[in-house]
Structure 1
Amino acid sequence: MVVSFGRRFWGLAVVLAALLVLLAGCGKQEGKQLKVVTGTSLIAAIVRDIGQDRVDVTNIIPPAQCPGHFDLKPSDVEKLANARLFLRHEWQGKMFTEDLIASVHNPELKVVPLAVAGNWMAPPVQKQAVEAIAGVLAQADPANKEFYEQNARQVTAAIVEKEKELRRKLDDAGVAGVKVLCSEMQQGFLKWAGCDVVGTYGRPEELTPQVIRQLVEQGRAAGVRLVVDNLQSGPEAGAGIARELGVPRVTLSNFPGGFPGTDSWSSAVEKNVTLLIDALAGR
């Protein structure tokens, strides 16, 4: 009887020990998230959607700031020190040079420039970006390849549904064919929305009196109904043009998180559509 109890006791102890080892292993696994640093919130939002709890994401450039004119600080570059992946837009190569990356002294870091062209706020381009980033994550972390690919399919399906929803709103509001003057950074999104982009302009410092005069003349001749600025490159850039034309003006964002409560692509693109419709309606 004593022997039987002793065997049971030791058997139970072995099972408990195995469970503790298993639980400890699970704890260690959680600590092995894929560390990803991103160049903009556009990339960060997609990585979070696809990677969920399997990734640890740090973004460098704040969403309300212009990524082409952002002044990198040593603390920004230091974010790359412990990362496995650095995902940036292809056009950010001049900012994140090879010498800059080398200064971090992280031999494990893989830099991946994303060559998805177009305005990522437009649903068709966003789908391309999701597919590209899912492929990068799957290659960098093959153990979770199926997880990333499954999530990417779900995210893509959600983009398709969101596009249908927004297209209905835009159609109901009569946005198709509306003539606009806009920041060159908003051109791609506005064309997707159905607007007729009559002309574009650059940053505020590029808007000389002569350029403004030409845009106003162009806008009057075409019957422009709206001027659209870009939050990141100059939220008030087109104010003078709109005033001269006597038409409303609206500022849209090219990045998730640019406006409060828009940390995801879905919420950011919906905010843009709402702002566009409200501006045309005089609200």
Structure 2
Amino acid sequence: MAQDAVLLAIAATVLLCILSGCSGKPREAASSEERTIVVSDTILSDIITSLLPSGRYRVEAILPPGQCPGHYDVKLTDIEKMKKAVLTVSFRGMSFMEKAGLDDPRQLVIDPEGRNWMVPDSYVKGLTLLAEQLSKHFPEDAVAIARGKEQAIRMVKKRSEALVQKVTGAGLSGKPVIASSMQKEPLEWMGFRVVAEYGRQEAMSTREILRLAEIGRDRGAIMVVDNIQSGPDTGKGIAETLRAPHVVLTNFPSERGYLATLQENVDALLAAVRE
């Protein structure tokens, strides 16, 4: 009986050692945990989520999609998230990310090269760029990242071409509009002709509104398009002066994702001219 008790005690000790990792080898459970990547905004979170294998990574965006990057104040909780992340990714010039003061190899800063990444061609370039960078950081998932890139590019090209055809089919290709400078590139991609543009709400004066309205009358602008992150009512006075539709678009993907947001932007423009 005593011998059996000793054997049981030894077996229990060995089992406990295996379960607690006494062998010095990493536990399987630890390797299967999701790794967190923190990014500046929802454009980057959407791209990175589409590239990485599901279930292995969690991607969190700091900036809420409807907020202006220049007006966002980084929080202590944001900094803590970034410190714990296996990788942080941001666009160059995102001041709230720079205020976090992080400077280590786990930080990846992307140069947007003056392009608006809500435009499908720029978004596709972003997919290619980030696929290359992520493969360097996570070489064990390089094959899955390459596969995710090809699949995402096919989907974006197919859906974006259909949206342009939708605008063309509605007879709006080449139609003049006045717009926030942040929406100029997306509108031109859709086929509209931007005859005048303006900046943020704080830079708008009565004199500027009247100047832009005069351009709109001379050029036959059919609508005024605002960017929600720059101020949803910035161009409202111009639209009222012209008695033209006022439309508000977003420059960052909503929670529904990039392609759904792109379609919502197009649909908002089409709905405005039907009214």
Q: Which of 176, 181, 186 is equivalent to 2:183?
A: 186
Q: Which of 43, 50, 58 is equivalent to 2:60?
A: 58
Once residues 27 and 241 of structure 2 are traced to their aligned partners in structure 1, the CA distance between those partners, rounded to angstroms, is: 67
How big is the shift at 1:163? 1.4
2:30 alignment partner in structure 1:
28
Once residues 161 and 219 of structure 1 are traced to their aligned partners in structure 2, the CA distance between those partners, rounded to angstroms, is: 33
| Superposition pairs of residues 233-252 of structure 1, within 5 angstroms | 233-252=230-249
1:124 alignment partner in structure 2:
121
Percent same amino acid at aligned positions?
Answer: 30
- The superposition leaves residues 107-130 of structure 1 with CA deviations (integer Å, 9 ceiling, x where unpaired) of 563333243542212111110111
Give the stretch that moved more between structures: 64-73 or 108-117.
108-117
Contact 1:87 1:114 in 2 (8 A): no
- The superposition leaves residues 30-87 of structure 1 with CA deviations (integer Å, 9 ceiling, x where unpaired) of 21x4421100111001111111323221211111101122111222222111112111
| Superposition pairs of residues 121-160 of structure 1, within 5 angstroms | 121-160=118-157
Once residues 111 and 120 of structure 1 are traced to their aligned partners in structure 2, the CA distance between those partners, rounded to angstroms, is: 17
**Paired residue type of 1:72:** V
Residue 207 (str. 1) matches residue 209 (str. 2): no
Superposition TM-score, scaled by structure 1 size: 0.83
Once residues 167 and 181 of structure 1 are traced to their aligned partners in structure 2, the CA distance between those partners, rounded to angstroms, is: 19
Structure 1 alignment gaps of length 5 or more:
1-20
- The superposition leaves residues 140-193 of structure 1 with CA deviations (integer Å, 9 ceiling, x where unpaired) of 000000111111110000011111211221111112111100011100100101
Residue 266 (str. 1) matches residue 259 (str. 2): yes
Distance 1:99 1:50, change over 3 A: closer
How big is the shift at 1:98? 7.6
Aligned residues: 251
1:74 alignment partner in structure 2:
76
1:15 alignment partner in structure 2:
none
- The superposition leaves residues 187-232 of structure 1 with CA deviations (integer Å, 9 ceiling, x where unpaired) of 0100101111011111111111111111011111111110000111
Superposition TM-score, scaled by structure 2 size: 0.86
Structure 2 alignment gaps of length 5 or more:
1-20
**Paired residue type of 1:73:** K
